[in-house]
């Protein structure tokens, strides 16, 4: 078997240009984790169901475990590492998850944070049903979603109060 031909992929990750020589089959999650070195994006199923690997591609939420890095060549990706404004400050969404105990083991959390960010940009005042529906593509095995749903509500409130 001849090894598949490698090619250069260029992706802007969290506002920084990155590039690597990769096999065409390289998944976006592996590109981010292994080539860029950002390991906050977790991989829970590798078949597109659990949502742990959720990132934003050109602003839209997507599963990095069923996207090839090459498909995003020239595009922009944002990961959980982009959310906090600085090393010693958390984003209101992160603070809300902390205050409402929206995480236990933390493995699903990056996916939930990214998804919540997208939801609240689109809909700053979601109802409980809207929240549950929007998050239903992300699985958490620890929290029973109680803390997560409360965290999204709190984050929505805080962001509205801040007027952002």
Partner 1 sequence: MTESGGFPYPGGGRFVGARVKRAEDPRLLTGEARYAADIQLPGMLAVAFVRATEAHARIESIDVTEALSLPGAVAVLTAADLDVAPVPLPFEFDGLAAPPQPALARNKVRFLGEPVAVVVAENRYQAEDIADRVRVRYDRLGVVVSPEAARAADAPLLFEDLGTNVLFERTESAGDVEGAFAEAAHVFRKTFHTNRFVACPMEGRGVVAHYEPRADHLKVWSSTQTPFLLRTTLAAVLPYPEHRLQVIVPEVGGGFGAKMSTYPEEVAVAAASLKLGRPLSWIEDRRENLLAANHAKEQQITLELALDTEGQILALRAEHVGDAGAYNFNSTSCLIEPFIGARNLPGVLRLRNYEWTVVSVATNRSPVGAFRAVGSTPGSTTRDAFLDEIARQLGIDVVKFFRKNMIRADEMPYHQATGQVYDSGDYIGSLDQAVELVDYAGFRRRQEEARSEGRYLGIGFSPFVEATGWGSEIAKSQGLPFSSHDNASVSVDPSGMVTVATSMASQGQGHETSFAQVAADVLGVDVATVRVTQGDTDVSPYGMGTFASRSAIIGGGSVLLAAEEVRKKVLAIAAKTLEASAEDLEIADGRVAVKGAPQRGLSYPEVAAIAHWDLGVRSDDDGHRLAATRFYDPPATFSNGCFVALVEVDPELGTVKLEKIVGVEDCGRVINPMIVEGQSHGAVAQAVGGALLEHMVYDENGGLITSTFMDYLLPTALDVPPIEIAHMETLAPHTAGGFKGMGEGGLMSAPGAIVCAVVDALSPFGAVLEELPLGPEQVARMAGSLATEGGHS
Report if residue 145 touches partner 1, rule: CB under 8 A: yes
94 makes contact, choosing from partner 1, ligand FES, none, with CB < 5 to 8 Å by partner type, with partner 1
- Binding-site string for partner 1 from residue 96 to residue 135, where x marks contact by CB under 8 A and - marks none: -xxx-x-xxxxxxxx--x-----------------xxx-x
Report if residue 45 touches ligand FES, rule: CB under 6 A: yes
Report if residue 57 touches ligand FES, rule: CB under 6 A: no
Burial class (CB in 10 A: 0-12, 13-18, 19+), 8: exposed
Burial class (CB in 10 A: 0-12, 13-18, 19+), 46: middle
- What end-to-end distance do the CA atoms of the chain give, in Å? 54
Report if residue 53 touches ligand FES, rule: CB under 6 A: yes
Applying CB under 6 A, which of residues 124, 141, 146, 160 lies at the interface with ligand FES?
A: 141
- Residues paired with residue 18 on neighbouring β-strands, in sequence order: 11
């Amino acid at each position: 078997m001849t090894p598949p031909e490698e090619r250069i992929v260029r992706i802007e990750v969290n506002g920084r240009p990155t590039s690597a020589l990769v096999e065409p089959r390289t998944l976006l999650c592996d590109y981010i984790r292994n080539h860029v070195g950002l390991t906050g994006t977790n991989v829970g199923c590798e078949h597109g169901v659990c949502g742990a690997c959720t990132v934003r591609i050109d602003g839209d939420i997507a599963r990095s475990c069923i996207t090839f890095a090459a498909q995003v060549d020239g595009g922009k990706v944002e990961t959980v590492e982009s959310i906090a404004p600085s090393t010693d400050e958390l984003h209101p969404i992160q603070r809300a998850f902390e205050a409402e105990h929206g995480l236990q083991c933390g493995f699903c959390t990056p996916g939930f944070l990214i998804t919540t960010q997208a939801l609240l940009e689109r809909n700053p005042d979601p109802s409980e049903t809207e929240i549950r529906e929007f998050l239903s593509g992300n699985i958490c095995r620890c929290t029973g979603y109680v803390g997560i749903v409360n965290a999204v509500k709190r984050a929505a409130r805080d962001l509205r109060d801040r007027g952002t």
